[in-house]
């Protein structure tokens, strides 16, 4: 097989070798159940406690008891939003949620589910880069608002939201804020005290940890209804025997993310600048969608005029380059993603959109190769496009 260049790290990342090494013993000799009181159980319990401290340390939580391990970013988002909504409902405390149009489906579809169950949701529009406007947030808040859920950094565009300002507005009204920080944890310095959030979701496999493992930060004093019912695991907040190897892996990934973050970010920024400059040098009629300033290191979302994104991705895959599109193929017709639609991109342009998301293992040589191959493929595709030739 040809050597592959993987530029899809916002979809998932490879497990760091040190993470795997930390996990393996908990699948073999240290196989205990964290609830057992004998030595096998205590060993598992200690490993879980250490991992919880590592995660708490990464995001600046005051206490490891504020961290609940989950099956990933999706469960953390569901737990935060449904857990809060259900509790408010039982207290007759309001039924209105504010979120944005560019959230991950784990948040959007959860909100849509709640709408069918009597809750009301405001989906804030965004500007051309995908940022909400604080005035519009202020106007959306009602007496009945129980939660504001705004993602920290967008997985498609990389655009970073002004969460500190969101929290300031929310604090005036005493409304808890949840943020989906799955993409930002490990890439930005994410500190729950500085941000001011009550709830924060993160996921292992977006930061060189295992898939199927995540966490929800729950600020002390924030009460949620449980999602899972059963035993008294996770301090009575999430029932089910803990995935000990996975939790150990999440903790190790958190420790490494903190240790290597600055070096990784510098590396990502250099490579991203190189890729951006290289593409602009060799191609006309391309547009960048992420925010020019407030953007994740390593994410470059580009619309290529007169090119169909899905075909571009398949052709790049044949050239050994793995990227992803901003469109989802639903029942044969190309629907632009809800994120690109919310930015106001015309459907034609949205369909020619590609997300490059770089990772710590990418090299300058790989980017050189991408800068050679992408323009070649784009030009070939444009040469076959009647619309493109007519327009020039």
Ligand X SMILES: *Cc1c(COP(=O)(O)O)cnc(C)c1O
Question: Would you name the residues annotated as active-site residues?
Answer: 329
13 binds ligand X (CB under 6 A): no
Specify the residue, 110 or 122, whose C-beta has the smaller distance to ligand X.
110
The backbone torsions φ and ψ at residue 305, rounded to the nearest 5 degrees and listed phi first, read -65, 145
Could you say which of 13, 183, 264, 357 contacts ligand X (CB under 6 A)?
183
Choose among 255, 265, 104, 242: nearest CA to 187. 265
> 41 to 80, contacts with ligand X by CB under 6 A?
72-74
Applying CB under 6 A, which part among 89-97, 113-121, 179-187, 346-354 lies near ligand X? 179-187
Pick out residues in 132-161 that bind ligand X (CB under 6 A). Answer: 151, 155
Q: Which is nearer to ligand X, 72 or 186 (CB)?
A: 72
Among 8, 43, 66, 180, binds ligand X (CB under 6 A): 180
H/E element holding 203?
A: strand 199-203
Q: Which of 203, 289, 324, 337 binds ligand X (CB under 6 A)?
A: 203
- Only one residue has tokens 């040469």, namely 383
- The DSSP line for 346-368 is -HHHHHTEEEEE--TT--HHHHH
Residues in the chain, overall count: 392
Residue in 111, 88, 95 with CA at minimum distance from that of residue 222: 88
**Smaller CB separation from ligand X, 180 or 305:** 180
- 197 part of the interface to ligand X, by CB under 6 A: no
CB 15 to ligand X: min, Å: 14
The residue (of 95 and 159) whose beta carbon lies closer to ligand X is 159
- For residues 108 and 367, which CB has a smaller minimum distance to ligand X in the complex? 108
CA–CA dist 282, 370 (Å, integer): 12
Least distance from C-beta 127 to ligand X, angstroms?
19
Residue nearest to ligand X (CB): 73
Buried b (16+ CB within 10 A) or exposed e, 1-35: eeeebbbbbbebbebbeebbebbeebeeebebebe
Confirm or reject binding of residue 130 to ligand X (CB under 6 A): no
CB of 338 to ligand X, least distance (A): 13
Min dist. Cβ of residue 239 to ligand X (A): 19
The reply to whether 182 sits near ligand X by the rule CB under 6 A is yes
Of the ranges 171-179, 201-209, 269-277, 351-359, which one interacts with ligand X (CB under 6 A)? 201-209
| Residue 206 binds ligand X (CB under 6 A) | yes
Closest approach, Cβ 337 to ligand X, in A, equals 13
- Closest CB to ligand X among 354 and 371? 354
Compare residues 71 and 95 and give the one whose CB is closer to ligand X: 71
State how far the Cα of 109 lies from the Cα of 116, in Å rounded to an integer: 11
Structure tokens at 342: 């919310």
Q: How many residues bind ligand X (CB under 6 A)?
A: 14
Please check whether residue 84 is in contact with residue 147, taking contact to mean a CB–CB distance below 8 angstroms. Answer: yes
| Helices 39-59/244-282 angle, 10° precision | 30
Q: Angle formed by the axes of helices 309-318 and 364-383, to 10°?
A: 130
Minimum gap (Å) between residue 212 Cβ and ligand X: 7
Q: Residue 215: name the closest of 69, 84, 80 by CA.
A: 69
The Cα diameter of the chain in Å comes to: 76
- Does residue 104 interact with ligand X by CB under 6 A? yes
Residue 317 three-state SS: helix
CB of 161 to ligand X, least distance (A): 11
Question: How far apart, in Å, are the Cα atoms of 197 and each of 312, 346, 360, 386?
Answer: 39, 34, 28, 51
Instruction: Please say whether the beta carbons of 326 and 356 come within 8 A.
Output: no
Rounded CA separation 98/173 (Å): 13
**Restricting to residues 325-384, which ones interact with ligand X according to CB under 6 A?**
none
- From the list 49-57, 178-186, 188-196, 355-363, the region that binds ligand X by CB under 6 A is 178-186
Residues near ligand X (CB under 6 A): 72-74, 104, 106, 151, 155, 180, 182-183, 203, 205-206, 214
């Amino acid at each position: 097989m040809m050597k592959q260049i993987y530029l899809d790290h916002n979809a998932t990342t490879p497990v760091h070798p040190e993470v795997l090494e930390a996990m393996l013993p908990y699948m073999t000799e240290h196989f205990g159940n964290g609830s057992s009181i004998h030595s096998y159980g205590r060993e598992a319990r200690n490993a879980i406690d250490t991992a919880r401290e590592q995660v708490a340390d990464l995001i600046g939580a005051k206490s490891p008891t504020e961290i609940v391990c989950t099956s990933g970013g999706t469960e953390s988002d569901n737990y935060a939003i449904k857990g809060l909504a259900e509790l408010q409902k039982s207290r007759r405390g309001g039924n209105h949620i504010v979120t944005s149009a560019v959230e991950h489906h784990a948040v959007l579809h959860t909100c849509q589910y709640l709408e069918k169950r009597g809750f009301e949701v405001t989906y804030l529009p965004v500007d051309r880069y995908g940022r909400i406007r604080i005035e519009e947030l202020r106007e959306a808040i009602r007496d009945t608002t129980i939660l504001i859920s705004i993602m920290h950094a967008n997985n498609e565009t990389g655009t970073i939201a002004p969460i500190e300002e969101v929290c300031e507005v929310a604090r005036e009204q005493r409304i808890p804020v949840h943020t989906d920080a799955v993409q930002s944890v490990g890439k930005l310095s994410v500190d729950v005290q500085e941000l001011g959030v009550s709830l924060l979701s993160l996921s292992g496999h977006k930061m060189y940890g295992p898939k199927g493992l995540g966490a929800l930060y729950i600020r002390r004093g924030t009460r949620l209804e449980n999602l899972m019912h059963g035993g008294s695991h996770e301090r009575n907040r999430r029932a089910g025997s803990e995935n000990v190897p996975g939790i150990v892996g999440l903790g190790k990934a958190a420790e490494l993310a903190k240790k290597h973050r600055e070096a990784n970010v510098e590396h990502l920024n250099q490579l991203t600048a190189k890729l951006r400059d290289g593409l602009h040098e060799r191609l006309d009629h391309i547009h960048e969608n992420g925010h020019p300033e407030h953007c994740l290191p390593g994410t470059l979302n580009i619309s290529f005029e007169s090119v169909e994104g899905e075909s571009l991705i398949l052709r790049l895959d044949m050239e050994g380059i793995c990227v992803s599109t901003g469109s989802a193929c639903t029942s044969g017709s190309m629907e632009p993603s809800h994120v690109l639609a919310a930015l106001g991109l015309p459907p034609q342009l949205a369909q020619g959109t590609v997300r490059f998301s770089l990772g710590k293992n990418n090299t300058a040589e790989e980017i050189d190769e991408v800068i050679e191959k992408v323009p070649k493929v784009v030009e070939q595709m444009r040469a076959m496009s009647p619309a493109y030739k007519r327009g020039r």
